Amino acid sequence: MPNNPLRDPDLRHRSIYLLPNAFTTAALFAGFYAVVQAMNGRFEMAAIAIFVAMVLDGMDGRVARLTNTTSAFGEQYDSLSDMTSFGVAPALVMYEWMLQDLGRWGWLAAFVYVCGAALRLARFNTNIAVVDKRFFQGLPSPAAGALIAGFVWLVVDNRLQVPHEFLAWTAFAITIYCGIAMVSNLPFYSGKAFALSRSVPFWVILVFVAGFVFISSNPPVILFGLFIVYGLSGWGVWLWRWRRLSKQVALRSGAE
């Protein structure tokens, strides 16, 4: 009689589950769609597609944990999808939109971002069991992709009257920063402590509703602002930890 994968832990670990991988596939499609739209000069749609990919990517892991359908296949598939949606796609969108006007500096910036995303994902996969789950080590690639997409969406949607050269070098700086931040050791809050299956007070629901209303009032401006804050938050957490450690060292030195 064949083994039941729901009862055999080894077979279950190697199984492929439809629901979480369907979300991963949808996120992969959104990243691919962003590249296609950028090649066609529709940069606003490309930026929105990256945000859609980010939302879908945040759902696949949680769905897998809620339904108890995590698998090694799903983990690897999710990582490859992230490389496309938040590594290659944002770099190509930014390059097609603005960086190509900088010549070799433009494609070098795009490559720094792609390389940073690849290294970030490889390090995440190898250190997943040893790092503090409350914080990411380095800027997560979805947030880096959202930061780039948010900048593109902000400028295109609002038709900002800014000198083209200034925009190009600002795009260069943001792309380089995201690439370096992804491979840094800065701690960024992961949000994994928040469990969808856990009951919450009523006011939490009200906060979520208010947040959706607030974002929908002007998505390009608000989303870019939120990810700017998140993209710099690692420095704040690092400084707070450094100051706390310095105080502990000073207290120990005084006690001795």
Q: Which architecture characterizes domain 9-255 according to CATH?
A: Up-down Bundle (1.20)
Q: Would you say the pTM of this structure is higher than 0.75?
A: yes
Q: CB-based contacts of 33: which residues, under 8 Å, 6+ apart?
A: 45, 46, 49
Q: Where are the alpha helices (DSSP H) in 128-218?
A: 141-158, 164-182, 202-217
Domain locations in the chain? 9-255
Strand partners, 135: 189
How do the pLDDT tens digits run along the chain, 256 residues long?
445 544 555 544 456 678 888 999 999 999 999 999 999 999 999 999 999 999 999 888 888 878 888 888 888 899 999 999 999 999 999 999 999 999 999 999 999 999 999 999 999 888 766 666 788 889 999 999 999 999 999 999 887 788 889 999 999 999 999 999 999 999 998 876 665 556 767 787 888 888 888 888 899 999 999 999 999 999 999 999 899 888 887 777 766 6
Is the CB of residue 171 less than 8 Å from the CB of residue 99? yes
* Nearest to 55, CA basis, from 217, 212, 206, 232: 212
Strand partners, 39: none
